[in-house]
Amino acid sequence: MNEEQRWIRRIQRRSDRAAAGELIAAYYNEMYGFIYKQTLNAELAKDLTQDTFGSMLQTIASYDLGKASFRTWLYRVATNRLVDYYRSRYYRAQKLHEPIEELELPGEEDFTISLTYRDEVERVLEVVNRRAARSQQIFRLRLFADYPFQEIADLLDVPLSTVKTDYYATLRAVRRYFEEEENQHGS
Amino acid sequence: MDRDKLVVPYPDADVVRSEIEAIVSRSMPPRQTFIAYMARMLREVGLRHLFRDWTELVYVSLTTIVIVALMLTAYLSSTAPESSMMYVLLFSVSPVLYLTIAIIFFAGKRDQDTYELEMVCKYTVYQLAALRMTVFGAVAVAVNTAMIGVCVWMMPELDVVKGWLVTTASLTLFGGGFLALMRYSSSKGMRLVYVGGWLAVNLTLYVWHELFYTAVLERMPLFGYAIWIAAGVYGMTRALSALITIHHKEGYI
Amino acid sequence: MLALRNVSKYYGDFCALKEINLELTHGVYGLLAPNGAGKTTLIKLLVTLLRPTTGEILYDGQPIAQLDERYRELVGYLPQQFGYYKHYNPRQYLMYIAALKGIGKTAAKGRIEELLQLVALEGAANKKMKTFSGGMIQRVGIAQAMLGDPQLLILDEPTAGLDPKERVRFRNLLSELARDRIVILSTHIVSDVESIAGEIIMIRDRRILYQETVEALCSKLEGQVYETLIDYEAAPQFRRDVLSLSEKQEQGMLRIRFLSTQRSDPSWQPVRPQLEDLFLDVFRDEETGGGQ
C-alpha cells in the first residue's frame, strides 16, 4: 500500500509517467475483470478499461490520499463509466431518477444470482443495463464488486435502507425477467 | 445442454503493456511545445486583442523608460563615472521595466467581473497572461539592448557585449523570480515583498558596488553568463508553462 | 448527452453539492432553487470553473476534464456577474471575445452581425456599452455566449434586474435557441422557466430533488391547491392552518391562494396547481432565512 501511495503522489506532483504505468499495471486485470463481467464483450471491456484508467489519471489531482481507499475510488470511476455507457444507449427506456416513494416495499429476496454461467449473466445485464443510473451503481457495486451495503451507502452518501430497497427492487426486476424468459422458452 | 461458464478472457501480458502505454500517452500527453502553443495562441488571438490595454501599457512603459534613462544619464554626467559602477547600475535597472509592467498589468486579475467569463473561453486569462509576459519579455530585452547602445555611446569604456550579458542575466534572474512567485502566490502583499526584496538587494549592491563588480560581474566569464541566461530562460519558460496548464490544480476559483 | 455522475463538491468540510446525478440531452433545462442552494456551484462545475470533489462530468461519454479546451469550445457561458468593458461598443466587445474563443476574424465578423440581429442590437452596435440599459447588456451577454455556436448554452440567473418586457423577450429568444442545443438556465424566478423549460431541475438540501417536466411537477400537488375569499381579520388565523401561496385584494376582502391536504371547507375552490405553488411548497423552510 505504501508503494501505491508513493506512485499516486508522484503522479499528482510531477505527472510521473512511469509511476502512472505502475499504478495502472497493479489494477489492470482487476478492473478488466470487473468490466468484462458486465459487458461480456472483450473489445468493449478493453475500451471501457482504457477510459476508466484514462479518467483516473485525469482526475487524480482531486483524489485525497487520506479519505477513500484508492481501490474504491477506482471502482467508482469504472462503475460510472459503465453506467454512462449503458445510460447513453438506453436513457429513453428509463428515467434517470427513481422517486424513492414509488419503489415497492422492501422484502428480502431469496432469489440469488451466481455469476458462474455466461447466459445467466447476459440475462441479468439485459435488465440492469436499462435501469436508472443510481440503481445501476448500487447493483453493479454489490453484485460484481462484492461491496457490502454499508460501504455502498457511505460511498454514494445514501441511507442504508435506501440502498437495500433499491438493490432488491432491481433484483426483483431481474427475477421477473428470468421468469418471463422461462415461461416463453420453457426451462 | 452444456452451459458456457463465464470466464474472463484476460489479455496477454504484452497486450496489457501496450494498453497501459496507450493510456498513459493519451491521458498524460507530452504537451505541445511551449513555443508552438504560444505561436498558435498569438496567431489566433492577435496582438491587438492580446494587448487590449496597449495605450496604458505604452504610457507606463514610456514613463518607466524615461525615469530609468534620466537616472542613468545623471550618473553618466556626474563628475567621475566609473565603469564598474555602471555595470552594477545596468544590472539593477534592467528588470525595472519588465517588473513594473508585470506587476501592474499581468498579475492578479482575479478580482474583475470579466474573469469568470474569460476563464471559460478557449484561451483563458492565465494562458493569455503567459503569452503577454512572453511577448513583453522580448520587448524588455529589446529595450535593454537599446539602452546599452546609448550608454556605450555615452561611456565608450563600456563593453557592449558584457553590458548586454549583464542586463539580460539580471532580467532573467529577477523576471524569472517574479514568475516563480506568481505561480505560488497571487496576493498583492507578496508582490510588494518581492519588490521590496529586489530594492533591498540593489541598495546593498550600490553600497558595495566595487565588491559586487569585481567579485561577480567582472570575474564571470562570458560562458558563465551564457549558462546563467540559459538557466534563467529555462526557468521562466517552465513558470509560464505552468500558467498555461494551471487547471491541473483545484479549479480556478 | 451531458451527464453528471455522483458529482459532489466540498470546500473542506463544507458541502455545497452532494451526489448529483443528471442527464441532459437537448432543449431547455430550468435549474430552479432559492438563492444559496447550490445553483451557481452546479453551473460553475458545468463550465469548468470548479472541479468536482468526487464524481465525473461527461460529455458524450468523455470526461470534460479530459476534453479541456475542446469542451470549452462547445460551451457558451453567461455568468451571473457579467463583466464587460464599458468603453467598448458591442461589436468591439464581441470581436474581443471571439478572439479569446479562437474564432478567426472573418468568421467572427459575419457571426457577430448575425448575433446582433438575433438579439436586436444592430441599431446600437456602435454605441459604447456604458450607455446601455441592463436589458441591453444582458443581450450582449447572450450574444457573446452564442459566438461559437455552442452545443451547451449555460446561463446563470440571466434575468436578474430585467423588467418584465425584457424577460419576455429573453424567454422567446431562449426558446428559439434551444432547438439545436442544450440550454441550461438557472434562476429563482419560476415564471422565467415555466413556459419554456422541457424539464425543471430542483435542488434542495444540496441534492437533486426533481428532474421532471413542468406538467409532472404540477401534478404532484393535484387536489391540494385552493382559492377562497376571506376577511382581512380572519387572515392571520387562516395562515396558521395552511400554507399561503399568494394573496390579492379583491372587493375589500382577501383572495388567498393556498395549499391544504384536505378540503376542510366547501367554499374553497380547487384550482389547477402551478409550478410556483410547488416551488413555494418545496422551499417553504428555506424561504424563511436559510441560504445566503
Q: Which CATH number covers residue A73?
A: 1.10.1740.10
> In the numeric block, which cell numbers belong to residue A8?
499516486
B99-148 confidence digits (pLDDT tens): 888 888 876 566 667 888 888 888 888 888 889 888 998 999 999 999 99
Residue recorded with cell 493569455: B128
Q: Assess if residue A10 is contained within a domain.
A: yes
Residue B191 lies in a domain: yes
Tell which of A62, A90, A118 closes a domain: A90
Do residue A78 and residue A111 come from a single domain? no
Q: How far apart are CA B200 and CA B193, in angstroms?
A: 10
- Say what the pLDDT of residue B3 is: 76
Q: Is A33 exposed, middle or buried (0-12, 13-18, 19+ CB in 10 A)?
A: middle
Structural domain includes residue B22? no
> CA C96, CA B245: separation in Å to the nearest integer?
22
Q: Flag whether A95 is in a domain.
A: no
Check C100 against B45: CB less than 8 A apart: yes
Residues A65 and A130 in one domain: no
10-residue averages of pLDDT along chain C (292 residues): 90 90 92 88 92 87 81 92 87 93 90 91 90 88 93 91 86 88 92 90 91 92 90 86 88 89 85 92 65 34
Task: Please check the confidence at residue A160 and state whether its pLDDT lies above 80.
Answer: yes
Give A-chain residues touching C55 at CB under 8 angstroms.
76, 80
The secondary element (H helix, E strand) that includes residue C199 is: strand C199-204
Residue A15 φ then ψ, to 5°: 50, 45
- Is the pLDDT assigned to residue A102 strictly greater than 70? no
- Whether A57 sits inside 8 A of B24 (CB atoms) is yes
Count of domains in chain B? 1
Query: Looking at the structure, do residues A36 and A82 belong to the same domain, yes or no?
Result: yes
Hey, which residues does B238 pair with through a beta bridge? none
Nearest to A173 by CA among A137, A129, A141: A129
Provide the shortest C-alpha distance from residue A162 to chain B (in Å).
31
User: Residue B84 is part of which domain span?
Assistant: 33-248
Question: By CA distance, what is B247's nearest residue in A?
Answer: A61
Backbone angles phi, psi at C203, to 5 degrees: -110, 130
Q: How far apart are CA B138 and CA A18, in angstroms?
A: 36
Could you give the CA distance from residue A21 to residue C73 in angstroms, rounded to a whole number? 31
Q: Is A85 part of the contact surface with chain C (CB cutoff 8 Å)? A: yes
pLDDT at C43: 94
- C76 — contact with chain A (CB < 8 Å)? no
DSSP bridge partners of C185: C30, C155
Q: Do B19 and A37 touch (CB under 8 A)?
A: no
> Whole-number mean pLDDT of chain A?
84
Beta bridge partners of C22: C4
pLDDT at B75 exceeding the cut of 90: no
Per the structure, how many domains does chain A have?
2
8 A C-beta contact, residue B173 and residue B228:
yes
| Residue-number span of the structural domain to which A79 is assigned | 2-90
Question: Span B230-251, mean pLDDT?
Answer: 75
pLDDT value at residue C167: 87
Domain shared by A67 and A43, yes or no: yes
Q: Which three cell numbers stand for residue B211?
A: 565588491
Question: So what's the pLDDT on residue B246?
Answer: 63
Domain presence at residue B174? yes
Q: How far, in Å, CA of B221 to CA of C252, rounded?
A: 98
CATH number for the domain harbouring residue A150:
1.10.10.10
Quickly list DSSP for A76-129.
HHHHHHHHHHHHHHHTTTS-S---GGGSPPP--------S-BHHHHHHHHHHHT
Kindly state whether residue B7 falls inside one of the protein's structural domains. Answer: no
Grid cell of B117 as nine digits: 467569463
Give the residue extent of every domain in chain C.
2-218, 223-272
C-alpha distance from B241 to closest chain A C-alpha (Å): 14
pLDDT at C292: 33
Of A46, A67, A90, the position where a domain reaches its end is A90
Q: Classify residue B187 as exposed, middle or buried by CB count within 10 Å of its CB (0-12, 13-18, 19+).
A: exposed
Is there a single domain that holds both residue A72 and residue A139?
no
Provide the shortest C-alpha distance from residue A29 to chain B (in Å). Answer: 7
Cell 565608450 locates to B156
Query: What CATH number should be reported for the domain whose range is C2-218?
Result: 3.40.50.300
Q: Find the angle CA(C234)-CA(C237)-CA(C243) to the nearest 5 degrees.
A: 110
Which run of H or of E encompasses A162? helix A160-185
Residue B5: inside a domain:
no
Q: How far is A53 from chain B (nearest CA, A)?
A: 7
CB B126 within 8 Å of CB B246: yes
**pLDDT for the residue numbered C189:** 87
Strand-pairing partners, residue C31, are C186, C201
What type of residue sits at position C75?
A: V
Please state, in angstroms and rounded to a whole number, the distance separating the CA atoms of residues C64 and C3: 10
Q: Does A94 touch chain C (CB under 8 A)?
A: no
CA torsion angle C124 C101 C155 C7 (round to 10): -170
Residues of C numbered 21-80 whose beta carbons fall under 8 angstroms of chain B's beta carbons: which are they? 44, 47-51, 66, 68-69, 72-73, 75, 77-79
Query: 10 Å Cβ neighbour count for C110?
Result: 9
